Amino acid sequence: MQFYQQIVGQYNKASPVQKSYLSIALTLGLLIILILLIFPAVNHVLKINKEISDARIVEQKLEDKIASLEKAETNYNQAKDRLKIIDEALPTGSAVEQYVKQIEGLVTKNNLTLAGVQFSDIPLSPPTNKDRLGLREVDYVATVEGKFINFKTFLTDFEGLIRTTDITSISMSENQSIISAAFKATVYYLGDQTQRAQKTNPTGDNTESNLTKPGQNQ
């Protein structure tokens, strides 16, 4: 209290010019104190505002992504049945074993015998690099034996296969009432354009022998 009275007494004794300088000094000191007190709060508010702005941007991006995923899910649900058919018609990889099983099933259904089937230049392993997929094809020859009427129904069923196949030629020979029909065909699939093809059979042996021995019904 005594110190305050001394300051007030000195202020009262000061000249008007000294009083003006002192007022300015006190005002500046007060402003500096206020700035030191307010600046951390202002800086904190600015930081929070920036975080809120960034969070809004992230939230908008997440909402856009969720909307895109929902749209993709809707499109997939609408097309998944067709995708399954497309994958069966033109699979990724030769899928030769499944294809041969389909042929064997039609042969058995029509009371025929699969005397032999031979593929050439076909990779058994699925493509490892799916960025270089392209349409590939493989030729094969299959021989079936049985009655002609059964062979006709076999061809009708064969043409109904979903797997994309072109029959290029058919040759037949007859022994009494039994015919032996050999047909050449081309089957298609999506494969690596750089993948090396082999003459092989579905069991994985790199040979050029028939897949089914003559007279053996798989």
Task: Check residue 101 and give its pLDDT.
Answer: 92
Stretch 27-38: mean pLDDT: 76
So where are the chain's domains? 1-88, 96-192
- Digit-coded pLDDT (tens) for 167-194: 999 999 988 889 999 999 999 998 876 5
Task: Check residue 86 and give its pLDDT.
Answer: 81
Q: CATH number of 96-192: 1.10.580.10, 2.40.110.10, 3.90.226.10, 3.30.70.60? A: 3.30.70.60
User: What pLDDT band is residue 131 in, cutting at 50, 70 and 90?
Assistant: confident
Task: Answer for the pair 179, 147: CB distance below 8 angstroms, yes or no.
Answer: yes
Task: Check residue 10 and give its pLDDT.
Answer: 63
Query: How much of the chain, in percent, has pLDDT values that exceed 90?
Result: 26
